[in-house]
């Protein structure tokens, strides 16, 4: 088990954003976290990555307790994430956005970086090369010198994924990766996500667009901060509580 | 191919800059006026101060008390040399170090505050430092100023000019390397989005405190040098107005590039001196320039230059401007 969440609870004031959530993700899996708007999906991500602290419960990553750990330290352990809104460094170029992610595992020491030694320059060239390869993979190489803020929305989303992948995560958290994309971009993004599976990356994703279910191994459905169902996509589709959560309870009259 | 071209243009740039430094180094040979050299020396001090302020600014922190930090360096070095009789060559680095230590101490609590709140608290810090000056008035001279600071060279010596030129070149080299290597990339990343930065493992607090301490070390050094040149220190050199002046220099020159604060400091710091004959109008000229720049070219002089240069090179609005 790569990620294990035990009885995770988060209260905002008196409001239960998340109640006793149990969730696990095995190595190499793609797990979908779905639920209606406001169900608490992004809260789960924010809790895992340390942006907010849980009221109670435990988060275990690779047999290590990471509950309430600082975000940058969580990232160093190998958990990368994308963001629904503002997913990138707006004033950086596309290439710089990806290069910044490579510094998670710095190749050069500060001393080398500051004095611009040959070692540093060689390492930087290598990083640039790898970043370019990453952009090529995601079809962003043509816009590499554009400022990230000037990109169309779908490209920004792809860049968010490129950024996260460049940090070489073991677990990747994707927050609505297909949101705001057109059909071509959706199919392309899904191929990319599917491809990462072969590279030893485990994925937990939040998504509204049901096309994603083609590549997801397992689904966890939450509503009002509570888990209402878990299983393969087929099992979930037939679950009465899921249908009720999305379409409401049928009027008996 | 492209790499070689950019390496070549980089080399040309370094030759041009080295040439500029040589020309500046030759100034005392051509100009004997002590008064003119004094203006240049003060401009150099402000160039260091403004560039170090930008180092802090690129990490997303607009310090409104930077002159206060300059004062820490100046007073520390001056007092150590005066009271303990140590040579200024030792007390100047110590003054810079003291400034950096204070910056680290206040940096951790300050770094919890962002944008406007950071500016407010740094502003109050700058004022509080002046309070310390008054409290310890028997040593610092309080509002009457600190006099008889041990000099670095004999009065009016051209060595002062060479010393400040060397100090400026060295400081700018350090600050430029600092921001162009991967440390600088992380600083700018923090300023743009602390969430995204944290998600790729950048320690926001660490980098912001780092930027503050490096910027304050440099301004402390500039302040210490100033102390042993001016030989008299008064509160007004380091008060709120002085801090705001530094921010104005930076904005007028343009925050977006390394050259911006240099240009801003050179233009604005020399205004009061150039208009000395009309001294009473100097503040109006200064304010006029600042207001005009903010309204007409918010990206500053250097930003305007880059934009214009780009228009001639290629018409591609979405791409990044010239060299930084």
Signed CA dihedral, A58, A62, A63, A69: sign only: negative
Where residue A54 falls (left for φ over 0; alpha for ψ -120 to 50; beta otherwise) is beta
* Spatial contact of A20 and A9, defined as CB atoms under 8 Å apart: yes
Residue of chain B whose Cα is closest to the Cα of A164: B200
pLDDT at B176: 95
Chain B CB contacts of A145 under 8 Å are: 319-320
For residue A164, tell me if it sits in a domain. Answer: yes
- Give the whole-angstrom CA distance, residue A238 versus residue A222: 15
Of B197, B202, B318, the CB nearest to A150: B318
Mean local confidence (pLDDT), B292-311: 81
For residue A185, report the phi and psi dihedrals to the nearest 5 degrees. -65, -35
- Domains by residue range for chain B, with CATH: 33-313 (1.10.3470)
pLDDT above 70 coverage of chain B, percent: 93
Prediction pTM value: 0.88
Compute the nearest-CA separation of B190 from chain A (Å): 9
Asked if B193 and A90 count as a contact pair (C-beta separation under 8 A), the reply is yes
pLDDT-wise least confident of A31-45, A78-92, A194-208, A231-245: A231-245
Residues of chain A contacting B185 with CB distance shorter than 8 Å = 96, 99-100, 103
Has residue A32 been placed in a domain? yes
Q: Which residue has the higher pLDDT, B321 or A113?
A: A113
> What's the pLDDT score for residue A199?
84
Phi first, then psi, for residue A148 (nearest 5°) are -55, -35
For position A223, what pLDDT does the model report?
86
- Please list every residue in chain B whose beta carbon sits closer than 8 Å to the beta carbon of residue A164: 199
Helices (H), A31-152: 41-48, 71-77, 94-102, 110-115, 118-137
ipTM: 0.88
User: What is the spatial distance between Cα B218 and Cα B72, in angstroms, rounded to a whole number?
Assistant: 12
Convert the pLDDT of each residue in A17-53 to its tens digit. 888 899 999 999 999 998 887 778 889 999 999 999 9
The CATH number linked to A102 is 3.40.50.300
**How far apart are the CA of A136 and the nearest CA of chain B, in angstroms?**
19
pLDDT confidence tier of residue B7, bands split at 50, 70 and 90: low
Q: Averaged over B253-265, what is the pLDDT?
A: 92
- The domain total for chain A is 1
Report which secondary-structure segment, H or E, holds A154.
helix A153-166
CB-closest option in A72, A86, A92 to B201: A72
B178 with A114: Cβ contact below 8 A: yes
pLDDT value at residue B323? 39
Q: For residue A28, give its domain range.
A: 3-247
Residues B188-222: pLDDT tens digits?
999 999 899 999 999 999 999 999 999 999 999 99
Mean pLDDT score, B315-323: 44
Closest Cα in chain B, distance from residue A87 (Å): 7
Task: List phi, psi (to 5°) of A38.
Answer: 75, 15
The whole-number average pLDDT for the span B244-269 is 92
Distance of alpha carbon B89 from its chain centroid, rounded? Answer: 21
* Crossing angle for the helix pair B66-84 and B34-57, to the nearest 10 degrees: 120
The confidence score (pLDDT) of residue B314 equals 53
pLDDT value of residue A232: 86
Residue B53 to residue B273: CA distance in whole angstroms: 23
If pLDDT is split at 50, 70 and 90, which confidence band does B324 have?
Answer: very low
What band does B3 get if pLDDT is binned at 50, 70 and 90?
low
Q: Is A23 helix (H, G, I), strand (E, B) or coil?
A: strand
Residue A229 is assigned to a structural domain of this protein: yes
Q: Is residue A154 part of a domain?
A: yes
For residue A105, how many other CB atoms are within 10 A of its CB? 11
Chain A residues with a Cβ under 8 Å from any Cβ in chain B: 49-51, 70-73, 75-76, 80-81, 83, 86-93, 96, 99-101, 103-104, 106, 108, 110, 113-116, 120, 124, 145-147, 150, 163-164, 167
Residue A34 near residue A207, CB atoms below 8 Å: yes
pLDDT score recorded for residue A252: 61
Residue A252 included in any domain: no
Which 3-state string (H, E, C) describes chain B? CHHHHHHHHHHHHHHHHHHHHHHHHHHHHHCCCHHHHHHHHHHHHHHHHHHHHHHHHCCCCCCCCHHHHHHHHHHHHHHHHHHHCCCHHHHHHHHHHHHHHHHHHHHHHHCCCCHHHHHHHHHHHHHHHHHHHHHCHHHHCHHHCECCCCCCCCCCCCHHHHHHHHHHHHHHHHHHHHHHCHHHHHHHHHHHCHHHHHHCCCCHHHHHHHHHHHHHHHHHHHHHHHHHHHCCECHHHCCHHHHHHHHHHHHHHCCCCCHHHHHHHHHHHHHHHHCHHHHHHHHHHHHHHHHHHHHHCCCHHHHHHHHHHHHHHCCCCCECCCCC
Contact assessment for residue A81 and residue A173, using Cβ atoms and an 8 Å cutoff:
yes
Task: Supply B164's token pair.
Answer: 């400040």
Rounded to the nearest 5°, which phi and psi values hold at B180? Answer: -90, -10
Helix, strand, or coil (residue A201): coil
Which residues of chain B make contact with A87, given a CB cutoff of 8 A? 196
pLDDT at B320: 47
| Residue whose entry in the numeric block shows the structure tokens 């009465």 | A240
CB-based contact B182 A147, cutoff 8 Å: no
Residue B161, both tokens: 């000019």
Q: Is residue A77 part of a domain?
A: yes
- Answer yes or no: is A253 within a domain: no
Please state, in angstroms and rounded to a whole number, the distance separating the CA atoms of residues B80 and A115: 32
Burial zone of B162 (CB within 10 Å; 0-12 exposed, 13-18 middle, 19+ buried) = middle
Tell me which chain A residues have a C-beta less than 8 angstroms from the C-beta of B202.
72, 100, 103
Are A166 and A131 in contact by the 8 Å Cβ rule? The answer is yes
Distances (CA, A) of B295 to A33, B119, B248, B251, B298: 49, 22, 13, 11, 6
Are A115 and B177 in contact (CB < 8 Å)? yes
Q: What is the distance between the alpha carbons of residues B231 and B4, in angstroms, rounded to a whole number?
A: 50
Helices (H) and strands (E) in chain A, counts: 9, 10
In the sheet that holds A64-65, the strands lie side by side as: A15-25, A3-12, A56-61, A64-65
Mean pLDDT of A43-72: 93
Q: What is the pLDDT of residue B276?
A: 67
Instruction: Tell me the angle at which helices B34-57 and B204-230 cross, rounded to the nearest 10 degrees.
Output: 170
Rounded Cα–Cα distance for residues B57 and B212 (Å):
9
User: Is residue A204 within 8 Å of residue A176, measured between CB atoms?
Assistant: no
The closest of A57, A53, A9, A14 to A226, measured between CA atoms, is A9
Whether A210 is covered by a domain: the verdict is yes
Beta bridge pairs of residue A10: A18
């Amino acid at each position: 088990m790569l990620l294990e969440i035990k009885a995770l609870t988060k209260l905002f004031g008196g409001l239960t954003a998340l109640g006793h959530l149990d969730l696990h993700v095995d190595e190499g899996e793609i797990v979908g976290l779905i639920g209606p708007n406001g169900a608490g999906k992004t809260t789960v991500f924010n809790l895992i990555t340390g942006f907010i602290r849980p009221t109670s419960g435990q988060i275990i990553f690779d047999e290590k307790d990471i509950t309430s750990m600082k975000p940058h330290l969580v990232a160093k352990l190998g958990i990368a994430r994308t963001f629904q809104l503002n997913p990138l460094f707006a004033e950086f170029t596309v290439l710089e956005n990806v290069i910044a992610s490579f510094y998670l595992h710095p190749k050069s020491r500060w001393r080398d970086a500051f004095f611009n030694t040959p070692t540093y320059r060689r390492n930087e060239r290598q990083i640039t090369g790898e970043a370019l390869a990453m952009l090529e993979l995601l079809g962003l190489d043509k816009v590499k010198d554009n400022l990230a803020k000037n990109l169309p929305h779908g490209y920004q989303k792809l860049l968010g994924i490129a950024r996260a992948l460049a940090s070489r995560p073991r677990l990747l958290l994707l927050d609505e990766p297909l949101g705001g994309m057109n059909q071509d971009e959706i199919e392309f993004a899904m191929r990319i996500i599917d491809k990462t599976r072969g590279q030893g990356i485990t994925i937990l994703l939040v998504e509204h667009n049901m096309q994603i279910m083609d590549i997801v191994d397992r689904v966890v459905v939450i509503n009002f901060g509570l888990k209402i169902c878990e299983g393969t996509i087929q099992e979930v589709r037939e679950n009465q509580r899921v249908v009720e959560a999305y379409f409401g309870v049928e009027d008996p009259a | 191919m492209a790499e070689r071209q950019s390496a070549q243009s980089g080399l040309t740039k370094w030759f041009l800059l080295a040439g500029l430094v040589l020309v500046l180094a030759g100034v005392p040979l051509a100009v004997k006026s002590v008064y003119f050299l004094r203006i240049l020396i003060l401009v150099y001090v402000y160039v260091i101060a403004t560039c170090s302020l930008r180092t802090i600014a690129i990490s997303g922190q607009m310090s409104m008390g930077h002159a206060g930090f300059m004062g820490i360096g100046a007073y520390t070095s001056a007092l150590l040399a005066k009271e303990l009789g140590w040579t200024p060559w030792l007390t100047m680095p110590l003054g810079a170090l003291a400034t950096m230590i204070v910056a680290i101490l206040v940096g951790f609590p300050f770094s919890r505050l962002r944008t406007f709140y950071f500016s407010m608290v740094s502003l109050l810090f700058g004022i509080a430092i002046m309070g310390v000056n008054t409290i310890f008035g028997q040593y610092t001279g309080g509002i009457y100023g600190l006099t008889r600071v041990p000099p670095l060279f004999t009065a009016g010596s051209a060595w002062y000019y060479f010393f400040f030129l060397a100090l400026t070149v060295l400081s700018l080299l350090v600050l430029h390397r600092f921001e162009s290597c991967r440390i600088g990339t992380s600083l700018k990343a923090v300023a743009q989005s602390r969430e995204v930065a944290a998600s790729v493992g950048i320690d926001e607090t660490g980098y912001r405190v780092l930027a503050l301490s490096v910027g304050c070390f440099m301004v402390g050094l500039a302040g210490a040098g100033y102390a042993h040149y001016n030989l008299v220190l008064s509160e007004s050199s380091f008060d709120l107005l002085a801090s705001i002046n530094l921010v104005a220099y930076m904005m007028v020159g343009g925050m977006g590039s390394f050259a911006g604060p240099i240009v801003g400091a050179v233009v604005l710091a020399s205004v009061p001196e150039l208009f000395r004959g009309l001294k009473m109008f100097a503040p109006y000229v200064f304010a006029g320039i600042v207001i005009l720049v903010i309204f007409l070219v918010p990206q500053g002089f250097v930003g305007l230059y880059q934009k214009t240069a780009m228009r001639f090179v290629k018409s591609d609005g979405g791409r990044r401007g010239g060299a930084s």
